[in-house]
Structure 1
Amino acid sequence: MRLRHLLTTLALAAGLAAPAWAQECVGRNLFDDLPPGRMEQLQAATRDIPFHRGLFWQATKGDQVVTLIGTYHFNDPRHDATMKRFGPVLDKAATLLVEAGPAEEKRLAGAMTRDPSLIMDAKGPTLPERMSPEDWKSLWTAMEARGMPAVVTSRMRPWYVSVMLGISPCMLQTVRKTGDTGGLDHQLIKRAEKAQVPIHALEPWDTVFKLFAGMTPDEEIDMIRAAMPAAEHADDYAVTLTEAYFSGDSWLIWEFGRFDAYDNSGMSRAEIDQQMRLAQDKLMDQRNRNWIAPIEAAAADAAKQGKGVVAGFGALHLPGRNGVLALLQAKGWTIRPIKSGEEANGG
């Protein structure tokens, strides 16, 4: 989800990058360590999710064509093949739609620099006052590995903490060195800029600050607790996520996170399921619904020019009953996968 990339941008803008001693990203695919029968459980949990397998799709409605690219937000040499395949389609497109374009990212980082209260709470109780001593110790240890001292973490808003826990310290260090995530989203944006294809954001620049409004204090702390198991082996999680993405099975990592929290968070299954529902609703479902209107409007305008649209956003936004593909299908669009080896055609 590009949300994590945006939070990385915010962290860098605030100078909260990973410490200088961070090592090169080294991890293992946690799927290789699953106990007997666990992969079958994950696959069973994924099996009935609409459009759960595949990264590249085409949506058509009359003469309107949208090429949908599920992205991974950090650098990987395997993105080169994707760009080689879809770059020519993007060059001919009327518009590139992304979660946040260069203008939105600049405005987002600038707002946080000017107003730290967007991610910091200077008035309310601190996180150590709201958490058990054991949970607080685990949290500040994990956040210090991400370059954030305990005194800073203690005043961070819980939503920011919980999502940052999912970012590998190594990834933060890499972005700090390069100033760019190098992810597929950025590569699409750079290609569009070179081809002078307009870039439009699917949502306002300040969406990230509004996603978690209305959560109760207990829900906020539970959100952090549910994120802690992944934080303890974030580099392994990063490798696992990357391999799941490039295999076209992005939703497996979502279910893997659920079962990992079942095993290691100390929370009940009911509590974890509630947190997963909450996260899916706020991070994906609500945003997916809001994206349909701009996608349809861009496609209609492009069709008048005899062109198509390219939409690139986090791969987890594609599948699901409230995923972008199912929502477009419900609006009368025909959805088909762009299969491996098939020549991409943007209309």
Structure 2
Amino acid sequence: MTFSRNLRFVCRIVSVLAFVSLLGPRIAFAAEDAPARCQGADMLTEMQSKAPDIYKQVMAESDALPNTQAMLWKIEKTGVPSSYLFGTMHLSDPRVATLSPTVKADIAQSKSVALEVADLSDTAVAAAMAKMASLIVYTNGESLKKALTDQEYKDVQQTVAKAGMPGELAATMKPWLVSMLLATSDCERKQLAAGKTVLDLQVAAEAQKHGIAITGLETIEDQLSALASVPNDQQIAMLKVGLKYLDRADDMTETLVQMYVKRQIGAAMPFQLALAAQSGISPSVFDGFKKSLLVDRNARMRDAALPLLDKGDAFIAVGALHLPGPTGLVALLRQSGYTVTPVE
């Protein structure tokens, strides 16, 4: 298979990685195959009963993290109209992907709405991926197969095949890309293909309904660069953690949904690190991920949001993991002179 054809296949499936880029479904699943919502077990509750000491540590770290108690925050500064910051979850589950009356009202009264990425059209996605092909697939003769055991590589091939591509393409894919495929269950892909939308896109639709301009705090290129900037050895180690839980994608999704609904999103990273430790992999392999995908992006999105906030009447919607912690957007906006208070 030629490199250009490989890239076309990858372009076809990267767009289902709702956890990262919200690029929308392009893999054909029959709509009737999609259940009302995906079913899974809450692995955090499971951890509480089966590994109580680990659970206590996860929750202690979560409780110590500031700014986890709300998903909607009011942003204020003297002399400037109020704005809002909204933490989303890039999933189609109706318990998450439903705008509350308060959120709808706040969007309606806004003069600008900002998402992580504004232009998610097929044309924009294809252009970005063609421009940055070396960040997505190996172009120098390297192979993912060399970094995995035979069983791990077989599991990767099966995952790639389920996503609608030839299994042999797995050898050319960067580890971060495969990890994103693992994070998206078959059920979630079917939900998207059946027409269900993630919460961020509902924010966009609500803004469009009111004729409000939508801007992006990042570009698709920014997000691809952030993913690819995680050191390769850490990408591989994170992939190995994901492969350990290959058959629990729906459970992982349910766990995230419960964290979001219960306002326990601060447990997400400690929980992931605990899973790594239980898999015999050092939690330090997530250091690059945290820096590139959270710390650095938070600062970039803060910088992009400030001009909108300085004008006021802005509604900022980004993934919920970008809000809490000392380097989260709530803290960064306070450091920038704004009063940020929880709403719901």
Q: Paired residue for 1:160?
A: 177
Please give the alpha-carbon distance, in whole angstroms, between the structure 2 residues aligned to 1:119 and 1:32: 35
1:137 aligns with 2:147: no
- How far the C-alpha of 1:280 sits from its partner, in A, is 1.3
Residue matched to 1:342: none
Paired residues of 1:19 and 1:146 also in contact (CA < 8 A): no
Q: Does the CA contact (< 8 Å) of 1:96 and 1:192 recur in 2?
A: yes
AA at the equivalent of 2:61: A
The aligned counterpart of 1:56 is: 72
Deviation at 1:19, TM superposition (A): 9.3
Shift of 1:319: 0.2
Q: Secondary structure at the match of 2:99?
A: helix
TM-score by length of 2: 0.84
Q: Secondary structure at the match of 1:99?
A: strand
Equivalent in the alignment of 1:286: 296
**Which amino acid in structure 2 is aligned with residue 166 of structure 1?**
A
Q: Pick from 249, 261, 285: which aligns with 1:234? A: 249
> What is the Cα deviation at residue 122 of structure 1?
4.3
Q: How does 1:62-101 map to 2 (within 5 A)?
A: 62-64=78-80, 65-79=82-96, 82-101=99-118
Which residues in structure 2 correspond to 1:235-254 (within 5 Å)? 235-254=250-269
Relative to structure 1, the CA distance from residue 6 to residue 232 in structure 2 (aligned partners, 3 Å threshold; closer, same or farther) is closer
**Superimposed CA distance per residue, residues 80-113 of structure 1 (whole angstroms, 9 cap, x where no aligned partner):** 7634222122111110011012x24444422267
1:225-262 deviations in Å (ceiling 9; x for gaps): 23323433000111111111111111212221111121
Kindly tell me: are residues 229 and 162 of structure 1, through their superposed partners in 2, closer, same or farther at Cα, counting changes over 3 Å? same
User: In the alignment, is residue 255 of structure 1 matched against residue 260 of structure 2?
Assistant: no
Partner SS for 2:220: coil
Contact 2:73 2:85 in 1 (8 A): yes
For residues 177-217 of structure 1, give each alpha carbon's deviation from its aligned partner in whole angstroms, at most 9, with x where no partner exists. Answer: 32xx5121111100101101111100123112211445544
TM-score (norm 1): 0.83
Structure 2: where are the runs of 5+ without partners? 1-14
Q: Secondary structure at the match of 2:218?
A: coil
- Name which of 182, 187, 194 aligns with 1:170: 187
1:30 aligns with 2:43: yes
Q: Please list every run of 5 or more consecutive structure 1 residues that lacks an aligned counterpart in the other structure.
A: 303-307, 340-347
The RMSD of aligned alpha carbons is 2.8
Kindly, what percent of the aligned residue pairs are identical?
23
Deviation of 1:163 after TM superposition, in Å, equals 2.2
Q: 1:23 to 1:185 in 2, by over 3 A?
A: closer
Q: For residues 230 and 278 of structure 1, do their structure 2 counterparts lie closer, same or farther at Cα, with a shift above 3 Å needed?
A: farther
Measured in 2, the distance between the counterparts of 1:44 and 1:80 equals 28
Please tell me whether the aligned partners of residues 182 and 243 of structure 2 are also in contact (alpha carbons under 8 angstroms): yes
Residue in 2 aligned with 1:305? none
SS in 1 for 2:235: helix
Return structure 1 stretches of 4+ with deviation > 6 angstroms. Answer: 18-23
Q: How many residues align?
A: 323
Q: Is the 8 A contact 1:230 1:257 kept in 2?
A: no
Are the structure 2 counterparts of residues 155 and 276 from structure 1 closer, same or farther at C-alpha, using a change threshold of 3 Å?
same
CA distance in 2 between counterparts of 1:316 and 1:69 reads 11
With over 3 angstroms needed to count, the CA separation of the structure-2 counterparts of 1:125 and 1:18, relative to structure 1, is: farther
- Do the aligned partners of 1:54 and 1:249 also contact (CA within 8 Å) in 2? no
* Greater mean deviation of Cα atoms: 147-156 or 88-97: 147-156
Question: 3-state DSSP class of the match of 1:87?
Answer: helix
Question: 1:42 — aligned with what?
Answer: 58
The amino acid that maps onto 2:257 is T
Aligned mates of 1:331, 1:217 — CA distance in 2: 34
1:259-278 to structure 2, matched below 5 A, reads: 259-264=274-279, 266-267=280-281, 271-272=282-283, 274-278=284-288
State which drifts further: 129-138 or 27-36: 129-138
Aligned residue among 320, 323, 337 for 1:332? 337
Residue 296, structure 1, aligned to residue 306, structure 2 = yes
**Is the CA contact 1:67–1:311 (under 8 Å) kept in the aligned structure 2?**
yes
Q: Counterpart of 1:336 in structure 2: which amino acid?
A: T
Q: Distance in 1 between matches of 2:197 and 2:32?
A: 21
Alignment partners' CA distance in 1, 2:73 and 2:224: 30
Q: Which deviates further from its counterpart, 326-335 or 21-30?
A: 21-30
Q: Is the 8 A contact 2:16 2:23 kept in 1?
A: no
1:33 Cα deviation after fit: 1.6
Q: SS of 2:240's equivalent? A: helix
Q: Secondary structure at the match of 1:321?
A: coil
Tell me what 2:8 maps to: none
